[in-house]
Amino acid sequence: MRTRGPLVDERVSMKHGAGGRAMRALIRQVFAEGFAQAPVDGIGLDAMDDGAALRLGDQWLVVTTDSHVVHPIFFPGGDIGRLAVAGTVNDLAMMGATEVLALTCAVILEEGFSRADLERVQKSIRDTCQEAGATIVTGDTKVMGKGELDGIVLNTTGIALTGRVVPDSGLLPGDRIIVTGTVGDHGFAILALRRGLELEGDLRSDVAPLNDLVRRALAAADGALSAMKDPTRGGLASALSEMAQKSGVGLILEEGKVPVRPVVRAAGELLGIDPLHVANEGKAVLGVRPEAAERVLAALRAHPQGREAEIVGTCIAEHAGSVILDTGVGRRLLSEPEGELLPRIC
Amino acid sequence: MLPRSADPAAGELKFRDPPTARALTGALARLLAQIGRAPVAVMHVCGSHEQAIAKFGLRAVFPRGLDVIMGPGCPVCVTDCPEVDEAVVLAGQGVRIATYGDMLRVPGTAKSLADAQAEGARVHVVYSVAQAAELARTTAEEVVFFATGFETTAVATAAVILRDPPGNFSVLSAHKYIPPVMEIVAEMPGTRVEGFLAAGHAATITGWGIFERFVDRHRIPVVVAGFEPLDILAGLVKLLEVIHDGRPRVENMYPRCVTRDGNRRAQEQLWKVFRPMGGRWRGIAHVPNGNLRLRDEWAHVDARRRFRIDVSGLWDEAPPSLAQHCICGDIMAGIASPTDCALYGKECIPDAPVGACMVSSEGTCKIWHQYGGHPDLRSVG
């Protein structure tokens, strides 16, 4: 019998979908354990990375899958279709696989869903695929009864080949941490929409496929990119905690260096929500060897999606697994968000 | 990228300026050396001070030997079990309860308001007492506002009571008054507290003059401070200066908001509606004049006089066994830290709080947990 710690929940709750510790524990306890006995040649479920990487001759086949339940399905800056394509393309890119071979798309619809909305979503999927140089090669369609589902759920799977896999876990002491742009945009756009918040300024989701930006970064880094992750649910805080834990390094994050749009900062102060805890859908966090940091930063800034990139932190040997936030006036540990900040965000 | 100066949020940053912060922490270290003994313990009595200290990581820059302790500064946490019980019983009688969100999960003797809600009671989370009065206007049913908070919040409750609320609206007051509990802490046998950092927002109403009697009586200095990082650091520097020169007095380090007399009109409203009364603070003690209760002329809006509230039925149920290990009381009295508690971060987490200090966003345990606990980060990097 499996030993159960005191914190094993008997039922699934919203926190298990929040992208933080509770979700990782659930995956580890329920899913990863069952498949650890069948080791794959490469990166499998037990690594809990953005996707899997399977050896294929001298190449790696990267596979990832993603379900999308965002509410509402249309929001400033994007929609569920763009989110699905970008999310999957980005999960591949975060493994170092920027050349997308193919995507699949499964759709589950609620009885009564508007045909016009469906066509709008389809067009968005098509446009975003074009932007990413990807295409959908197969799919599946199911309809459920009224009330059995809220509108629409999309699932996308992506595959891509790469010569070199970039894991979450490759950070070394001395590595610099780069974030490719402003944080918190997606989460606050959804939050403001749902709560009917009217703020001066434009709260827009940053949802976008990042494979071209990552392609530039990989080329500039020339092997010096040690780790990569997209800070989606749980925000920059969760992404960095996970990278630090998996890599066995400590990490000092300089709060003042992290780019945050003024309107996001204002919304954060107003709602008491830290932008570092809020989801992004068009940003990446990169770990880079120190000597290549400026070079990679310059390459990112030369790309339209990376103009606001910044070096925001440094890895250290002490405090392995922890993220230390330097606030400018003091220091503390940066914790991951507790529970579900905002369900159905992607 | 956007230059920092173009950031509209930059205005507030003058109270978060790193070079000034470094100068102030340098001054703290020098003063501590001049005082020449350690540790020197000072206490603040406000959840917002603890929030700022934790959020900005100030403990990592305090000199070793300066202990900044949070005292009984979380109004939700010091709300006593029998007070929660009264709200739970009322909710069970079918009365609609309106209260602040933090109060839902605060444990009573046998259950919390959230438990009562799960059993079918109607409990409404409101952001202000005015919103509770609005709720009463939309229904013919009885609405009771379960009022918690210190004098700052009590002023708002008083204002609504004075503005002729609807006839089906009443108040169950668990409001607390801070100055008397400072006396309790000062008189605790073996207390280490050599100075108090008083909460700027409360002093905006009461005025800093209110602390003069306390200083005269106990010979312990009080410094009124605001809530930005530099406010707190400057307040601590002043407090160490006063401890060093050995002439206990009140100093106002929040002059942009606080005056000697405070807000007279708010004080008039407060004392017109409330009278101070002795009562228990959870985990602390009986605090003479520590509770704010409605005066007789407001009996018609006083839930305690409007309803028969018999909480004895709840006492047959034993408190959960985990709760017996909770040291919230010692933490609120400032004689223990969350990390001294065997439950902290293990059985007791924000998702499943055992004690009130892990429930409220002003509770020491919740704040420490939210901001990563308190490992010693003074020598990192």
Quick one: A176-333 is in which CATH superfamily?
PurM-like C-terminal domain (3.90.650.10)
Predicted confidence (pLDDT) per residue in B293-337, tens digit: 999 999 999 999 999 999 888 777 666 677 778 888 888 888 889
Distance CA B97, CA B88 (A): 9
CA distances from A40 to A55, A56, B310, B343 (A): 9, 12, 65, 40
How far B344 CA lies from chain A's nearest CA (Å)? 13
Residue B85 maps to which CATH number?
3.40.50.11740
Question: Would the pLDDT of B8 be above 80?
Answer: no
Band of residue A15 on the pLDDT scale cut at 50, 70, 90:
confident
Same domain, B186 and B304: no
Contact B229 A266 (CB under 8 A): no
Residues of A in contact with B350 (CB under 8 A): 338-339
Residues of B in contact with A319 (CB under 8 A): 375, 380
Same domain, B162 and B97: yes
Band of residue A345 on the pLDDT scale cut at 50, 70, 90:
confident
C-beta separation of A69 from A81 below 8 A: no
The dihedral through the CA atoms of B301, B302, B304, B306 has a sign that is negative
Nearest CA in chain B to A259: B1
Contact A310 B1 (CB under 8 A): yes
Predicted confidence (pLDDT) per residue in B141-197, tens digit: 999 999 999 999 999 999 999 999 999 999 999 999 999 999 998 998 888 899 999
Question: Would the pLDDT of B278 be above 70?
Answer: yes
Predicted confidence (pLDDT) per residue in A183-220, tens digit: 999 999 998 888 777 776 789 999 999 999 999 999 99
The backbone region for A151, taken as left when phi is positive above 0, alpha when psi lies in -120 to 50, beta otherwise, is left
Band of residue B10 on the pLDDT scale cut at 50, 70, 90:
very low
Predicted confidence (pLDDT) per residue in B22-67, tens digit: 999 999 999 999 999 989 999 999 999 999 999 999 999 999 999 9
Asked if residue B197 is part of any domain, the answer here is yes
pLDDT of the residue at A199 = 73
pLDDT of the residue at B319 = 62
Backbone angles phi, psi at B261, to 5 degrees: -90, -20
Distance CA B198, CA B71 (A): 11
Q: Which domain holds residue B192?
A: 15-75+179-252
Asked if residue B184 is part of any domain, the answer here is yes
Choose one of B198, B230, B252: the last residue of a domain: B252
Which of A258, A277, A329, A341 is most worth mutating to test chain B (most B CB atoms within 10 A of its CB)?
A329
As for how many domains chain B has, the answer is 3
User: Same CATH topology for A39-162 and A176-333?
Assistant: no
Looking at the complex, does the CB of residue B27 fall below 8 Å from at least one CB of chain A? no
Choose one of B203, B229, B252: the last residue of a domain: B252
Same domain, B168 and B220: no
Same domain, B60 and B137: no
Question: Would the pLDDT of B6 be above 80?
Answer: no
Task: Tell me the percentage of chain A whose pLDDT exceeds 70.
Answer: 95
Residues of A in contact with B1 (CB under 8 A): 259, 307-308, 310
Same domain, B25 and B139: no
Asked if residue B4 is part of any domain, the answer here is no
Residue B247 neighbours by CB distance under 10 Å: 9
Residues of B in contact with A331 (CB under 8 A): 57, 60-61, 377, 380
Same domain, B85 and B171: yes
List the structure tokens of A346.
């992607």
Contact B380 A15 (CB under 8 A): no
Q: What's the pTM?
A: 0.87
Contact B372 A335 (CB under 8 A): yes
Asked if residue B381 is part of any domain, the answer here is no
Which of A9, A305, A332 is most worth mutating to test chain B (most B CB atoms within 10 A of its CB)?
A332
pLDDT of the residue at A6 = 43
Nearest CA in chain B to A325: B57
Same domain, B192 and B149: no
Contact B380 A331 (CB under 8 A): yes
pLDDT of the residue at A25 = 85
Predicted confidence (pLDDT) per residue in A106-151, tens digit: 999 999 999 999 999 999 999 999 999 999 999 999 999 999 999 9
Residue B130 neighbours by CB distance under 10 Å: 16
pLDDT of the residue at B43 = 96
How far A107 CA lies from chain B's nearest CA (Å)? 34
- Which of B8, B57, B381 is closest, CB to CB, to A327? B57
Choose one of B316, B333, B348: the last residue of a domain: B316
Same domain, B348 and B303: no
Task: Tell me the percentage of chain B whose pLDDT exceeds 90.
Answer: 73
Question: Would the pLDDT of A246 be above 60?
Answer: yes
Interface of A with B (CB under 8 A): 6-7, 15, 250, 252, 256, 259, 261-262, 265-266, 269, 272, 307-308, 310, 314, 316, 318-319, 322, 324-335, 338-339
Q: What's the residue count for chain B?
A: 381
Distance CA B379, CA A134 (A): 49
Predicted confidence (pLDDT) per residue in A142-184, tens digit: 999 999 999 999 999 999 999 999 999 999 999 999 999 999 9
Asked if residue B375 is part of any domain, the answer here is no
Question: Would the pLDDT of B347 be above 70?
Answer: yes
Looking at the complex, does the CB of residue B7 fall below 8 Å from at least one CB of chain A? yes
Contact B1 A259 (CB under 8 A): yes
Residue A37 neighbours by CB distance under 10 Å: 6
Band of residue B13 on the pLDDT scale cut at 50, 70, 90:
low
Same domain, B82 and B163: yes
Nearest CA in chain A to B24: A329
Distance CA B340, CA A150 (A): 47
Residue A178, strand partner residues: A286, A311
Same domain, B62 and B157: no
User: Which of A288 and B108 is assigned the larger pLDDT?
Assistant: A288
Residue B36 maps to which CATH number?
3.40.50.11750
Asked if residue B67 is part of any domain, the answer here is yes
Question: Would the pLDDT of A37 be above 50?
Answer: yes
Residue type, B310: D
Asked if residue B152 is part of any domain, the answer here is yes
Looking at the complex, does the CB of residue B369 fall below 8 Å from at least one CB of chain A? yes
Contact B60 A339 (CB under 8 A): no
The SS3 call for residue B282 is coil
How far A86 CA lies from chain B's nearest CA (Å)? 24
Which of B14, B377, B378 is most worth mutating to test chain A (most A CB atoms within 10 A of its CB)?
B377
pLDDT of the residue at B166 = 97
Using alpha carbons only, give the angle B381, B27, B31 rounded to the nearest 5 degrees. Answer: 115
Measure the N-to-C terminal CA separation of chain B; round to a whole number of Å. 27
Contact B57 A334 (CB under 8 A): no
Nearest CA in chain A to B228: A329
C-beta separation of B279 from B177 below 8 A: no
Same domain, B329 and B297: no
List the structure tokens of B200.
């700027």
Contact B372 A316 (CB under 8 A): no
How far B28 CA lies from chain A's nearest CA (Å)? 14
Residues of A in contact with B371 (CB under 8 A): 332-333, 335
Same domain, B167 and B293: yes
Fold exhibited by the domain A39-162? 60s Ribosomal Protein L30; Chain: A; (3.30.1330)
Domains in chain A: boundaries: 39-162, 176-333
Distance CA A58, CA B22 (A): 54
Residues of A in contact with B16 (CB under 8 A): 327-329
Residues of B in contact with A195 (CB under 8 A): none
Residues of A in contact with B52 (CB under 8 A): none
Nearest CA in chain A to B367: A335
Residues of B in contact with A339 (CB under 8 A): 350-351
The backbone region for B67, taken as left when phi is positive above 0, alpha when psi lies in -120 to 50, beta otherwise, is beta
- Which of A250, A329, A335 is closest, CB to CB, to B16? A329
Nearest CA in chain B to A14: B351
Asked if residue B168 is part of any domain, the answer here is yes
